[in-house]
Amino acid sequence: MFTTVLTRGPVVRPEIARITGLSSAAVTKAVKPMIEAGYLEELPQGERAVEGAGRPAYPLAVRADREFFVGVKVTADELIGVVTDLRAQVRDAHRMAVSGRSVEQVVADIAALVRELGPEYAERTHHLGLSVSGDVDRPGGVVRYSPFLGWHDVPLAELVAGETALMVTVENDVKALTVAEQWFGEGVGADSFALATVGVGIGCGLVVGGRLVAGGYGVAGEIGHVPVAAGDGPACHCGARGCVEAIASEEAIVGRARAVSGDPALDMAGAIERAHGGDAAVRAVFAEAGQAIGLGLAAMVNLVGPERVVVSGEGLAAYDLFEEDIRAAFTTQLFGAAARCPLVVRPLPWEEWARGAASVSIQSLFAA
Q: Which residues have C-beta within 8 Å of that of residue 65, sequence separation ≥ 6? A: 85, 86, 124
Query: What count of other Cβ atoms lies within 10 Å of the Cβ of residue 177?
Result: 30
CB 93 within 8 A of CB 150: no
pLDDT for 199: 85
Q: Distance between CA atoms of 313 and 297, rounded to whole angstroms?
A: 15
Which of left, alpha, beta for 95 (phi over 0: left; psi -120 to 50: alpha)? Answer: beta
Max Cα distance, the chain (Å):
77
Could you give the percent of the chain with pLDDT greater than 70?
Answer: 96
pLDDT for 54: 52
Give all strands (DSSP E) within 260-325, no chain letters: 309-312
Query: What count of other Cβ atoms lies within 10 Å of the Cβ of residue 212?
Result: 21
Residues 91-121 as b/e (b if ≥16 CB within 10 A, e otherwise) read bbbbebebeeeebeebbbbbbebbeebbeeb
Q: What is the mean pLDDT of residues 342-366?
A: 89
Q: Give strand pairing partners of 172.
A: 132
Q: Is residue 353 classed as helix, strand or coil in its secondary structure?
A: helix
Residues 298-317 as b/e (b if ≥16 CB within 10 A, e otherwise) read bbbbeebebebbbbbbbbbe
Which helix (H) or strand (E) covers residue 92, if one does? Answer: strand 90-97
Q: Which of 59-68, 85-94, 266-275 has the lowest mean pLDDT?
A: 59-68
CB 27 within 8 A of CB 16: yes
DSSP 113-135: HHHHS-GGGGGGEEEEEEEESSE
pLDDT for 368: 54
Q: Distance between CA atoms of 206 and 191, rounded to whole angstroms?
A: 11
Q: Distance between CA atoms of 320 and 309, rounded to whole angstroms?
A: 18
Q: Distance between CA atoms of 156 and 37, rounded to whole angstroms?
A: 31
Sorted by where each starts, the structural domains of the chain and their CATH numbers stand as 2-62 (1.10.10.10), 67-179+351-367 (3.30.420.40), 188-345 (3.30.420.40)
User: Is 153's pLDDT higher than 90?
Assistant: yes
User: Is 231's pLDDT higher than 80?
Assistant: no
Q: Give strand pairing partners of 353.
A: none
Radius of gyration of the chain (CA): 22
CB 309 within 8 A of CB 345: no
Tens of pLDDT, residue by residue over 198-229, are 888 898 999 998 888 888 877 788 899 999 98
The reported pTM is 0.83
User: pLDDT grade, residue 251 (50/70/90)?
Assistant: very high
Q: What's the mean per-residue pLDDT of the chain? A: 89
Q: What is the mean pLDDT of residues 6-22?
A: 83
User: pLDDT grade, residue 50 (50/70/90)?
Assistant: low
